[in-house]
Structure 1
């Protein structure tokens, strides 16, 4: 069993909601322990059974693919979480409510949970690992999306985590075992020190016990590693980028191939309507709101100037797009054009210098 402690930060005060369940629950609806008989696709009955069944109320499978130079990036939909607009701070409540109203969003904000797969041709890299149905029944779809996209957990050789919150590590372990048995797991040194020290009191930090239980199988198999502050990674073309604030060791990962680059920025933004309009707006889950604001402001400025692709864990699925300027200190989101995703991307026109 993995025990999660969900914590909402209110300044220096914490409100705890205990959630106890196994990470297995997040995947129970997608896998079975029973070995299936071989399927003969030439048999109409078997072929019909092998094909996924979708009703009129269902969405299509939760993956989206794009080319990035010589690499392929696949967005994997894990589900969503419903956030209360009151979790966002940094500006008067009326200002935040008005920004939501202008974008026709209510105080109940449906927020995607995305993970991403990078296929370099030599390695298959997973960036973040979604949430768990133990946290919410609306999460825990990562393994289903992974398989729908044509990959198996055994194909993944490297996992990079942006940070160790439960909506980013939910699929790592099942029943005390590694979900991705051939993968080496990486996180920043600062993040590991913050969450995984044995001396930590489970009441001191949110999600402490569940986080340690999710990471433990990789530690026991000598497949857990920390990334040094040099930002080097073991995957060619992938560089770690320090973006502290949301958590002490929060990382982004920049992937470069050919003339293109894409930044997987983790939890820099939880709601683009609010935080693109005003990067000073933060969410209660930010452990250091001042550092989070500095990281967000810098990365938005840099992304707008460079025109590089952005992949966000909580941007609307598929979570990939570009940042454009909307004002002196405000921005807007340009989602990727579906028709261009697998055809390569012409060099983007650079922002006009004033």
Structure 2
């Protein structure tokens, strides 16, 4: 399904909700270790955490660009809704010219595949170079706990299925009005995309910098076990929340609902995200 649509200079930005994910609250982590993690879980006071899975369509006169592709139907019948939302927005999969990946995890990459063939038959896939380098490195594979190796499988499938249409990108300008910004920690090459708008209305699509908006903005040291580097992810969250506050950016995330703006909390030294 689609949520609200916003216009940023060249682009109409359409959020596409792909599905809804639920996990045990035991997935919560804390950068200061075990006792603080346990206090966080107790304060959460719920047995589960729940979050959207989103991707985004950017439409302009030159065509269609996606940021991420969701989980497709590989996670079951309750996922893959982004494909329906695209059709409802008048976007055919053949029209998609490129997909910008924030990182190489299942719920961002699986939507690119259709039973071993490209779901987007004409699209290039632009991948942060540091993520692709990590997830194709045999030494990194051996050093990564087995439960966290999904990105290696995704990288292999991506290259097999899209072949020469996979293109590595560095930080910096990737398209007119779109800049790749490194947001490491969740994965080594985790990347956000800054979409240029009018004054004080730039949009940062920040991927998985935060999974739980209210909880993690209030305490950026709270993470989830899906962060490959807990400490770096916490530092990135803190820095990104501060930068978004200072620059008055609108933000959107792979697991947040709708668009928001970040401001400092009145008490406690954290931040708050208010809907736009």
What is the TM-score when the length of structure 1 is the normalising length?
0.70
Q: Deviation digits for residues 159-217 of structure 1, max 9, x if unmatched?
A: 10000000001210112211111211111111001113478569755212244214422
State the partner residue of 1:217: 161
Which one has a larger percent helix, Structure 1 or Structure 2? 2
State the partner residue of 1:167: 107
Cα separation, 2, equivalents of 1:203 and 1:75: 33
Q: Which of 25, 39, 42 pairs up with 1:94?
A: 39
Q: Deviation digits for residues 111-158 of structure 1, max 9, x if unmatched?
A: 100101111321311001101333344322121111111101111111
Secondary structure, counterpart of 1:110 in structure 2 = strand
Q: Which of 299, 316, 334 pairs up with 2:274?
A: 334
Secondary structure, counterpart of 1:139 in structure 2 = coil
Work out whether residues 81 and 139 of structure 1, in 8 Å CA contact, stay in contact via their aligned partners in 2.
Answer: no
State the partner residue of 2:21: 81
The alpha carbon displacement at 1:313 in A equals 0.4
Cα–Cα, structure 1 residues 197 and 159, in superposed 2: closer, same or farther, change >3 Å? same
State the partner residue of 2:185: 245
The alpha carbon displacement at 1:328 in A equals 5.3
Cα separation, 1, equivalents of 2:59 and 2:226: 31
Paired residues for 1:65-80 under 5 Å: 65-80=5-20
Secondary structure, counterpart of 1:313 in structure 2 = coil
1:292 and 2:233 aligned: yes
Cα separation, 2, equivalents of 1:162 and 1:330: 25
1:269 and 2:210 aligned: yes
Paired residues for 1:314-353 under 5 Å: 314-316=255-257, 318=258, 320-326=259-265, 327=267, 329-336=269-276
State the partner residue of 2:116: 176
Paired residues for 1:1-16 under 5 Å: none
Cα–Cα, structure 1 residues 70 and 188, in superposed 2: closer, same or farther, change >3 Å? closer
Cα separation, 2, equivalents of 1:150 and 1:66: 16
Cα separation, 2, equivalents of 1:64 and 1:182: 27
Task: Identify unmatched segments of 5+ residues in structure 1.
Answer: 1-60, 337-354
Work out whether residues 158 and 166 of structure 2, in 8 Å CA contact, stay in contact via their aligned partners in 1.
Answer: no
The alpha carbon displacement at 1:63 in A equals 4.4
Paired residues for 1:44-193 under 5 Å: 61-90=1-30, 91-98=36-43, 100-101=44-45, 106-193=46-133
Q: Deviation digits for residues 33-85 of structure 1, max 9, x if unmatched?
A: xxxxxxxxxxxxxxxxxxxxxxxxxxxx4343111234210000101110221
Work out whether residues 96 and 274 of structure 1, in 8 Å CA contact, stay in contact via their aligned partners in 2.
Answer: no
Cα separation, 2, equivalents of 1:308 and 1:293: 20
The alpha carbon displacement at 1:224 in A equals 0.7
Cα separation, 2, equivalents of 1:132 and 1:144: 10
Secondary structure, counterpart of 2:125 in structure 1 = strand
Larger Rg: 1 or 2? 1
Secondary structure, counterpart of 2:111 in structure 1 = coil
Q: Deviation digits for residues 311-348 of structure 1, max 9, x if unmatched?
A: 110012x3x11112113531111112xxxxxxxxxxxx
Cα separation, 2, equivalents of 1:152 and 1:195: 30
Q: Which runs of 4+ in 1 moved over 3 A?
A: 61-64, 197-205
Work out whether residues 115 and 129 of structure 1, in 8 Å CA contact, stay in contact via their aligned partners in 2.
Answer: yes
Work out whether residues 178 and 217 of structure 1, in 8 Å CA contact, stay in contact via their aligned partners in 2.
Answer: yes
Cα separation, 2, equivalents of 1:203 and 1:70: 42
| Number of residue equivalences | 265
Q: Which of 243, 267, 274 pairs up with 1:302?
A: 243
